[in-house]
Structure 1
Amino acid sequence: MKRRLLLTGMAGSAALALAGCAGPQINDYASEKPVLDLREYFNGTLDAYGLFTDRSGKVVKRFTVVMRCTWTGDEGVLDEDFIYSDGTLQKRIWRLKRFADGRYTGTADDVVGEATGQARGNAFNWKYTLALPVDGKVWNVEFDDWMYLMDGRVMLNTAVMSKWGVRLGEVTLSFVKRP
């Protein structure tokens, strides 16, 4: 009997520990304000400032981005020009589609397959696989990307990058919409 109680207690503790590992869910932000409408925020020109930290927290690379964003109905184009701290340049053009329930899909040349996301309240969660060139090879890495609208001009973004379930690092960005 004691053994059964001990095993039951251990199983319950394990279940609680696993539940504690679950990350935030998009519905956690449903009542947060201001409400994020990607078509409204990502419309016009934005500047972004970011950095990539490795899994130890060390800043590996800094970058800036100029984004030119347009929407036609529920279809958007985010034309991004990156300048990295080592002088390299990169261009990414996202093509987004909005659905009535707050879901979005998107494609870009260096995105493997289709990105999927959902907006609720002031937050947007976006998941995708990026073909990332590293030392002459291309690695497909997973991004779990969270954006939080702070006000009409500023949005904060944090994305965890992983491969085979192993956390590789994090990207942190601030977006500022030009007046």
Structure 2
Amino acid sequence: MTALTRRRTLLLSTLALAGCATAPEPADYAREAPALDLRSYFNGPLIAHGIFTDRAGKVQRRFIVRLLGRWQGDEGVLEEDFEYSDGARERRVWQLKRLGDGRWSGRAADVLGEAQGMSAGNALRWSYTLKLPVDGKVVEVDFDDWMYLLDDKVMLNKAQMSKFGIRLGEVTLSFRKL
């Protein structure tokens, strides 16, 4: 076998193995504790610190979010006030609903349609399209958003942003209950 044939065989084998890998699902975290219940975690005041990184991993924006959540049964309101390092401010108000069996839904003025969520164990996965203002235009960006509860006070959040299936960047947040 020539060196070129060996390299091609190795490349094809690597691609075949990568094709066998499956993306994580919330059910993969079903046994992880503490169990995440949005109604209890997002109840009252919280603060989050975050960054947006581009495709290359370079930090493009830093921000702080002050949150306040209120619930009545399975329906809640989550107010988010963003303050960016460049002085820009933004507000998002979520209407959240527990649907049962680990399923959640959410609406906000800048979310296209309805966000769909699924939780298990300490994890929650949100999928939604955000209407994002960019250079005076509104761009619809898809979010694959994962939250992981670490303890009763701290939750980490990673969200992949994409458009037409092309990865644009990532948002990383650390939430803390006050």
Confirm whether residue 17 of structure 1 aligns to residue 34 of structure 2. no
1:74-109 Cα deviation digits (max 9, x unpaired): 001000100001100000000001012110000000
The alpha-carbon deviation at position 14 of structure 1 amounts to 5.8
CA distance in 2, matches of 1:160, 1:14: 23
Partner of 1:59: 59
The alpha-carbon deviation at position 17 of structure 1 amounts to 2.7
Confirm whether residue 160 of structure 1 aligns to residue 168 of structure 2. no
1:42-97 Cα deviation digits (max 9, x unpaired): 00000000000000000000000000100000001000100001100000000001
Partner of 1:37: 37
Q: How many residues align?
A: 168
Confirm whether residue 98 of structure 1 aligns to residue 70 of structure 2. no
CA distance in 2, matches of 1:54, 1:69: 30
Secondary structure class of the residue paired with 2:100: coil
The alpha-carbon deviation at position 15 of structure 1 amounts to 5.4
Partner of 1:5: none
How high is the TM-score relative to the length of structure 2? 0.91
The alpha-carbon deviation at position 13 of structure 1 amounts to 7.3
Partner of 2:127: 127
Partner of 1:136: 136
The alpha-carbon deviation at position 23 of structure 1 amounts to 1.8
AA aligned to 2:106 is: G
The alpha-carbon deviation at position 16 of structure 1 amounts to 3.9
Partner of 2:171: 171
1:96-132 Cα deviation digits (max 9, x unpaired): 0101211000000000010000110000000000000
AA aligned to 1:165 is: G
Secondary structure class of the residue paired with 1:39: helix
1:129-166 Cα deviation digits (max 9, x unpaired): 00001111111000000000000000000000000000
Structure 1 unmatched runs, 5+: 1-9
Secondary structure class of the residue paired with 2:27: helix
CA distance in 2, matches of 1:79, 1:164: 29
Instruction: Please give the root-mean-square deviation of Cα atoms over the aligned residues, in Å.
Output: 1.5
AA aligned to 2:48 is: A
Quickly say closer, same or farther: Cα 1:13–1:48, change in 2 above 3 A: closer
Secondary structure class of the residue paired with 1:18: helix
